[in-house]
Amino acid sequence: MTSVLILNGPNLNLLGTRQPEVYGTTTLDDIETLCKNHAEVTGMTVEFHQSNHEGTLVDNIHNARGRHDGIILNAGAYTHTSIALMDAISSVELPAIELHLSNVHARETFRHQSYIARVAVGLICGFGARGYVLAMDAMKDHLEH
Ligand code: DQA
Protein backbone atom coordinates (compact mmCIF):
# COMPACT_ATOMS: atom_id res chain seq x y z
CA MET A 1 0.00 0.00 0.00
CA THR A 2 1.34 3.42 -0.97
CA SER A 3 2.21 5.41 2.13
CA VAL A 4 2.55 9.17 1.94
CA LEU A 5 3.61 11.87 4.37
CA ILE A 6 1.64 15.09 3.88
CA LEU A 7 3.53 17.91 5.51
CA ASN A 8 2.32 21.49 6.05
CA GLY A 9 4.45 24.46 6.97
CA PRO A 10 4.01 27.78 8.76
CA ASN A 11 0.65 29.53 9.11
CA LEU A 12 -1.27 26.70 7.48
CA ASN A 13 -2.74 25.89 10.91
CA LEU A 14 -4.73 29.12 10.42
CA LEU A 15 -6.44 27.96 7.22
CA GLY A 16 -10.14 28.74 7.28
CA THR A 17 -9.64 32.19 8.78
CA ARG A 18 -6.33 33.21 7.20
CA GLN A 19 -6.87 35.42 4.12
CA PRO A 20 -9.90 33.40 2.95
CA GLU A 21 -9.94 35.38 -0.31
CA VAL A 22 -6.56 33.78 -1.12
CA TYR A 23 -6.67 30.41 0.66
CA GLY A 24 -10.40 29.64 0.93
CA THR A 25 -12.44 28.75 3.99
CA THR A 26 -11.49 25.08 4.33
CA THR A 27 -9.60 24.41 7.57
CA LEU A 28 -6.50 22.23 7.84
CA ASP A 29 -8.58 19.70 9.83
CA ASP A 30 -11.04 19.57 6.90
CA ILE A 31 -8.11 18.99 4.53
CA GLU A 32 -6.76 16.20 6.73
CA THR A 33 -10.20 14.52 6.67
CA LEU A 34 -10.36 14.97 2.88
CA CYS A 35 -6.94 13.31 2.51
CA LYS A 36 -7.75 10.44 4.91
CA ASN A 37 -11.04 9.75 3.07
CA HIS A 38 -9.27 9.85 -0.29
CA ALA A 39 -6.59 7.50 1.05
CA GLU A 40 -9.25 4.99 2.07
CA VAL A 41 -10.92 5.11 -1.35
CA THR A 42 -7.65 4.80 -3.28
CA GLY A 43 -5.91 2.27 -1.03
CA MET A 44 -3.24 4.55 0.39
CA THR A 45 -2.11 5.42 3.89
CA VAL A 46 -1.35 9.00 4.89
CA GLU A 47 0.35 10.63 7.83
CA PHE A 48 -0.56 14.32 8.13
CA HIS A 49 1.44 16.98 10.00
CA GLN A 50 1.74 20.73 10.34
CA SER A 51 4.45 22.78 11.99
CA ASN A 52 5.38 26.44 12.15
CA HIS A 53 9.02 25.50 12.84
CA GLU A 54 11.56 24.84 10.11
CA GLY A 55 13.60 22.35 12.20
CA THR A 56 10.51 20.32 13.07
CA LEU A 57 9.66 20.10 9.37
CA VAL A 58 13.22 18.92 8.68
CA ASP A 59 12.78 16.26 11.42
CA ASN A 60 9.45 15.17 9.91
CA ILE A 61 11.12 14.74 6.50
CA HIS A 62 13.97 12.71 8.06
CA ASN A 63 11.46 10.50 9.89
CA ALA A 64 9.69 9.71 6.61
CA ARG A 65 12.65 7.64 5.45
CA GLY A 66 11.83 3.94 5.64
CA ARG A 67 8.25 4.70 6.72
CA HIS A 68 6.73 6.39 3.66
CA ASP A 69 7.04 6.08 -0.12
CA GLY A 70 6.74 9.78 -0.85
CA ILE A 71 6.25 13.25 0.60
CA ILE A 72 3.67 15.89 -0.31
CA LEU A 73 4.94 19.20 0.99
CA ASN A 74 3.16 22.52 1.34
CA ALA A 75 6.08 24.31 2.95
CA GLY A 76 4.24 27.66 3.04
CA ALA A 77 6.65 30.59 3.06
CA TYR A 78 9.62 28.26 3.72
CA THR A 79 9.18 27.16 0.09
CA HIS A 80 10.75 30.44 -0.95
CA THR A 81 13.55 30.58 1.61
CA SER A 82 14.56 27.19 2.99
CA ILE A 83 17.70 25.51 1.75
CA ALA A 84 17.39 23.27 4.85
CA LEU A 85 14.08 21.80 3.63
CA MET A 86 15.49 21.36 0.13
CA ASP A 87 18.52 19.53 1.54
CA ALA A 88 16.31 17.38 3.80
CA ILE A 89 14.32 16.17 0.79
CA SER A 90 17.49 15.41 -1.16
CA SER A 91 18.90 13.59 1.86
CA VAL A 92 16.03 11.15 2.38
CA GLU A 93 15.84 10.28 -1.34
CA LEU A 94 12.04 10.06 -1.37
CA PRO A 95 9.97 11.53 -4.21
CA ALA A 96 8.41 14.83 -3.15
CA ILE A 97 5.59 16.88 -4.63
CA GLU A 98 5.50 20.62 -3.95
CA LEU A 99 1.99 21.81 -3.19
CA HIS A 100 0.31 25.19 -2.73
CA LEU A 101 -3.33 26.13 -2.32
CA SER A 102 -2.84 29.38 -4.21
CA ASN A 103 -1.28 29.89 -7.62
CA VAL A 104 2.04 31.25 -6.36
CA HIS A 105 3.07 32.24 -9.89
CA ALA A 106 0.15 34.67 -10.17
CA ARG A 107 1.21 36.37 -6.93
CA GLU A 108 4.18 38.47 -5.71
CA THR A 109 7.48 37.76 -7.45
CA PHE A 110 9.12 36.56 -4.20
CA ARG A 111 6.68 33.61 -4.32
CA HIS A 112 7.92 32.60 -7.79
CA GLN A 113 11.20 31.38 -6.31
CA SER A 114 11.09 27.84 -4.84
CA TYR A 115 13.89 25.83 -3.29
CA ILE A 116 11.54 22.84 -3.04
CA ALA A 117 10.87 22.77 -6.80
CA ARG A 118 14.57 22.04 -7.41
CA VAL A 119 14.24 18.66 -5.70
CA ALA A 120 10.56 17.86 -6.33
CA VAL A 121 9.22 15.50 -8.98
CA GLY A 122 6.49 18.04 -9.69
CA LEU A 123 4.40 20.92 -8.47
CA ILE A 124 0.66 21.43 -7.95
CA CYS A 125 -0.65 24.90 -7.15
CA GLY A 126 -3.76 27.01 -7.54
CA PHE A 127 -6.44 24.38 -6.91
CA GLY A 128 -7.11 25.17 -3.26
CA ALA A 129 -7.82 22.28 -0.91
CA ARG A 130 -8.50 19.98 -3.88
CA GLY A 131 -4.82 20.23 -4.67
CA TYR A 132 -4.08 17.85 -1.78
CA VAL A 133 -6.16 15.12 -3.41
CA LEU A 134 -4.62 15.87 -6.81
CA ALA A 135 -1.17 15.56 -5.25
CA MET A 136 -2.07 12.20 -3.68
CA ASP A 137 -3.19 10.87 -7.06
CA ALA A 138 -0.08 12.28 -8.72
CA MET A 139 2.16 10.63 -6.10
CA LYS A 140 0.42 7.24 -6.46
CA ASP A 141 0.72 7.45 -10.24
CA HIS A 142 4.38 8.49 -10.00
CA LEU A 143 5.21 5.58 -7.69
CA GLU A 144 3.36 3.03 -9.85
CA HIS A 145 4.91 4.03 -13.20
C1 DQA B 1 1.21 28.76 0.21
C2 DQA B 1 1.86 29.85 -0.66
C3 DQA B 1 3.05 30.47 0.05
O4 DQA B 1 3.63 31.49 -0.77
C5 DQA B 1 2.59 31.12 1.35
O6 DQA B 1 3.68 31.65 2.04
C7 DQA B 1 1.81 30.18 2.20
C8 DQA B 1 0.82 29.32 1.56
C9 DQA B 1 -0.05 28.17 -0.45
O10 DQA B 1 -0.47 27.09 -0.05
O11 DQA B 1 -0.65 28.80 -1.33
O12 DQA B 1 1.94 30.17 3.42
O13 DQA B 1 2.14 27.71 0.39
Q: Which residues are catalytic?
A: 23, 100
Which pLDDT tens digit goes with each residue over 47-104? 999 999 999 999 999 999 999 999 999 999 999 999 999 999 999 999 999 999 999 9
Any atom of ligand 1 within 6 Å of the Cβ of 74: yes
- pTM, two decimals, is 0.97
Any atom of ligand 1 within 6 Å of the Cβ of 124: no
pLDDT for res 69: 98
CA gyration radius, the chain: 14
Which pLDDT tens digit goes with each residue over 9-57? 999 999 999 999 989 999 999 999 999 999 999 999 999 999 999 999 9
- Closest ligand 1 atom to the C-alpha of 10? 12
Residues 83, 137: Cα–Cα separation, whole Å:
27
Any atom of ligand 1 within 6 Å of the Cβ of 140: no
Q: Give residue 42 CA to ligand 1 midpoint distance, Å.
A: 27
In the chain the domains, ranked by start, together with CATH numbers, are 2-144 (3.40.50.9100)
How many other CB atoms are there within 10 angstroms of residue 26's CB atom? 18
